[in-house]
Amino acid sequence: MPLTLSVSGVHKHYGGNHVLRGVTFEFGEAGTYVFMGPNGSGKSTLLRVAALLERQDEGSVGYHSGAETLKADIALIRRITLVLPKVGVFNSSAFENVAYGLRIRGVGRKEIKEKAEKALDSLGLLHKRNQRAALLSSGEQQRLGLARALAIEPEVLFLDEPTASVDEKNTRIIEDLLVSIRKEANRVVVIATHDKEQAAKQADRLLYLKDGRIVVP
C-alpha cells in the first residue's frame, strides 16, 4: 500500500511575506504530480512544507497508509525525501554521497554497497563512484542528488526543479529515469518545475501555483 499525502489549508509566512495562502490538495494514490508556476509563486516552499522539512504556520500536512494517518516523527520523515534544486553534494566520493542516507539509517555495509551502487547505476554514475563529488559537472551533481535520494528508496519523492541548470544530455537521463519510476506506479512523486514540456511529459496530474494558491490556468 503506497504512502499517500494530503495537504489542507496550508499557510506560510516569511516575515511579512505571505508565501502560501491556503494550499489544499490530496495525492491519494501512486503517481507523478507536477506543480507548475512562475518564479516566486511558492513551489519550493510548498515542497519543503509538504516534505516535513519546514513547518507551516496554519493548516495541516498528513501522510497516510491506507486509512491510517501517520504521526509526523523521524520514522515517517525517513520514508520521504526531497531533492533540492541546489543539490549540496557532500565533500566526499560520489559513492559516499549516495551511501549517506543509508548510513544514517544504520544499514549494514553490504546492503549499503548494493543499494548505493544500484542508485548510482540507475543514473549512469557507477563509473564515477570513487570520484570526488565536488569535482563532478553540475549535471552530474544533479544526477548524484537524485541517486542519493533514490538510494534510500523513499516512499514519497519530492523533486524541486530537477533539471534546472542542467544541459540537454543530463536532462534526458534524469527525465528517462523519472518516466521509468512513473511506470513502476508504486509511489507518490511530486515535482516542481517551470518547464512546460517536462511537466506535460511527466505528469499524471498537473497543478498550477500562483501567488501561493492553487489555481486553474
Ligand X SMILES: Nc1ncnc2c1ncn2[C@@H]1O[C@H](COP(=O)(O)OP(=O)(O)O)[C@@H](O)[C@H]1O
Sort strands 68-70 and 58-65 into parallel, antiparallel or unpaired.
Answer: antiparallel
Distance in Å, CB of 96 to other proteins, minimum:
8
* Three cell numbers, residue 156: 514519497
Distance in Å, CB of 216 to other proteins, minimum:
31
What does the DSSP 8-state code read for residue 13?
A: E
d(CA 183, CA 60) in angstroms, rounded, equals 30
Residues near 106 by beta carbon (within 8 Å), at least 6 away in sequence: none
Distance in Å, CB of 160 to ligand X, minimum:
7
* Three cell numbers, residue 92: 566526499
d(CA 115, CA 186) in angstroms, rounded, equals 18
Distance in Å, CB of 150 to ligand X, minimum:
22
d(CA 190, CA 3) in angstroms, rounded, equals 13
Task: Count Cα atoms within 13 angstroms, Cβ side, for 189.
Answer: 27
- Residue 132 near other proteins by CB under 8 A: yes
Q: Which one of other proteins, Mg ion, ligand X, none is in contact with 45 (Cβ closer than 5 to 8 A by kind)?
A: ligand X
Nearest residue (CB) to Mg ion, 9 versus 38: 38
Size of the residue set binding other proteins (CB under 8 A): 36
In the list 1, 29, 55, 86, the residue contacting other proteins (rule: CB under 8 A) is 86
Beta carbons of 202 and 175 less than 8 angstroms apart: yes
What mask of x and - would describe binding to ligand X in positions 13 to 32, judged by CB under 6 A? -x--x-x-------------
Distance in Å, CB of 138 to other proteins, minimum:
8
Nearest residue (CB) to Mg ion, 45 versus 97: 45
Positions touching ligand X (CB under 6 A) are 14, 17, 19, 37, 39-45
